[in-house]
Amino acid sequence: MRRPIASGFLFSSKSLIAGLVVLSVGRTALAQPRTAPAPAGKPTPAPAGKPTPAPPAPEELPAPPDVDDPMLQPVARASTEIGTWEDALKYVRARSTDLQIALQDVARADAQSRVALAGALPTINGTGTYTHNIITNTTAQFTGIGPAGPTTRAVQTPYPNYLTGSIVATQPVLALRTWNAIGTAHVAADASRLAVSDVKRQIALGVANSIVSVVTSERIAELNRIGLRNALQRLDLTTRKAALGGATGIDVVRARQDVESARTTLVAGDESLRQARENLGLALGVPEQIGVPPTVDISGLEQGAKSVCKPVGSVEDRPDVATLKKRVEIAHRNVNDVKYQFAPTVTVQSQLATTTIDTGATPNTTWNVQAVLSVPIWDGGARYGNLHDTQAQELQAVERVEAQRRQATIDVERARRNVGVADERRRVAAAARDLAAENDRLTRASYQEGRGTSLELVTTAQALREAEIQLALREFETVNARVVAVLALASCPW
């Protein structure tokens, strides 16, 4: 006797239940069009003597009840937002610590190149000395032969006060190590410039990933709020239905559990959004949250990446591989530097000296020219040890190039393949979302007819919410995969 009474109540509160049916978890814009489905099975028969009313069309259902909750307020927008690659590059050029460190490495390499060149150019050094002798002795110094015989004068020995000065100029004539060091410094400067290009590529990739992450987090936060709003509307309708006797306590508990689950997801999503904004700020060199405006064209990131970074022919030309190849050349030159330590050196030097000491025998000012030959004979074996060390370093540099070449080859192939994989995952996620939406629609229709349960309603709503979030993730993963594919084999001269 209980079923006819419940069935009679169902049709007497038709409008209230219809309002519950219209709710679905997830964003309405992403769900399938709300078309009236054919009822699965036969509706519950009405009490004898009463005709069975036809199910109302979805467009005739009343609007869901209004709900208000503080957590429905969206996360405040960041105080600073960027919308184009040009805006991002302005921040990077001015604030990126990684870029500034790489640029200073170039400056250091240029400075070391100038230091190496100085070893092949003349050096000029001047010295001046003033001497005051405290203890002296007075002696007679012969000055010549006079009419009366030899003449002398009293002098203090050593001279109590005198000045001396000299200028020495040195010019290397045969300096194999110096000439090799000049070439090595030039190669090191080239390697530093290639490293800057690779740093720019990594920065561009990091900025693109951060922008996609922020946009993705914004979208998920929006979906989470839609899910919470729908859960609150279901709870409101279920509570009203329970007050009228059409729902049980367990129905209300399930609705409340769904609300709390939506709140948990929303809190986690909001924190992920804030962290994504902070990561974008760090990528741009700003220690604060930086957002992306809602009007940004996320699909334009690929074209933006192509405008700031140019493709290269092969992995051999990718900046990181090219930099390590320069390191091999430097290592080889370091081996030659040790070998040149066994070779003799020849320098020419000239000294101009003057003093206030008047000896009467030598001129106060002298000037000489010297050729100096230096032949290394034995240093205890240090050069042999250095030679073995530099040869091992050269072999290590060669292996690093090979390892990076292999890694770059895999990176490029994987980046290109991931474009298709991401697009396929997006299509699968879209199909899963469509199925979840259809399942939710059918479950609501069944619940409307009195055959479904609140557990099924909540479960399908949660599945639809998760499917819509997964679809949003896959859509932005596709964009990110295309950007990575552009930068995987590129050089960034910006």
429-468 per-position pLDDT tens digit: 999 999 999 998 898 788 767 677 888 888 998 899 899 9
In this prediction, residue 171 carries a pLDDT of 96
The strand pair at 161-174 and 123-132 is best described as antiparallel
- Which amino acid belongs to residue 387? L
Measured distance CA(302)–CA(483) in Å, rounded: 5
Q: What are phi and psi of 232, to 5 degrees?
A: -65, -40
Q: CB of 310 within 8 A of CB of 380?
A: no
Distance CA 446, CA 433 (A): 20
| pLDDT value for 27 | 34
Asked if residues 467 and 28 have their Cβ atoms less than 8 Å apart, the reply is no
Per-residue DSSP letters for 80-125? EE--SHHHHHHHHHHH-HHHHHHHHHHHHHHHHHHHHHHTTS-EEE
Q: What is the pLDDT along the chain (494 residues), one digit of tens a residue?
A: 333 333 333 333 333 333 333 333 333 333 333 333 333 333 444 444 444 454 444 444 446 678 889 999 999 999 999 988 889 999 999 999 999 999 999 999 999 999 999 999 999 999 999 999 999 898 887 777 878 778 887 878 888 999 999 999 999 999 999 999 999 999 999 999 999 999 999 999 999 999 999 999 999 999 999 999 989 988 888 888 888 877 788 989 999 999 999 999 999 999 999 999 999 999 999 999 999 998 888 878 888 888 889 999 899 999 999 999 999 999 999 999 999 999 999 999 999 999 998 877 788 899 999 999 999 999 999 999 999 999 999 999 999 999 999 999 999 999 999 999 999 999 999 999 999 999 988 987 887 676 778 888 889 988 998 999 999 999 999 999 999 999 999 999 88
Q: Report phi then psi at 453, rounded to 5.
A: -120, 160
At residue 206, φ and ψ (nearest 5 deg) are -65, -40
SS3 string, 411-451, reads HHHHHHHHHHHHHHHHHHHHHHHHHHHHHHHHHHHHHHCCC
What six digits make up the tokens of 369? 């020219």
| Residue partners of 485: CB distance under 8 A and separation at least 6 | 415, 416, 418, 419
Total number of residues shown for the chain? 494
The structure tokens listed for 259 are 């609300």
Reduce the DSSP state of residue 106 to 3 states and report it. Answer: helix
Angle between helical axes of 85-95 and 301-308 (0-180°, round to 10)? 50
Which bin fits 364, alpha (ψ -120 to 50), beta or left (φ > 0)?
alpha
Q: Which two tokens stand for residue 328?
A: 């091999």
Give the CA distances from residue 335 to residues 261, 338, 442, in Å, rounded to whole numbers and listed in that order: 66, 5, 77
- Domains of the chain with CATH codes: 2-30+78-118+174-338+402-491 (1.20.1600.10)
Q: Residue 448 has what pLDDT?
A: 67
| The two structure tokens encoding residue 419 | 């474009």
Which stretches does DSSP call E strand in 40-188?
80-81, 123-132, 137-146, 149-157, 161-174
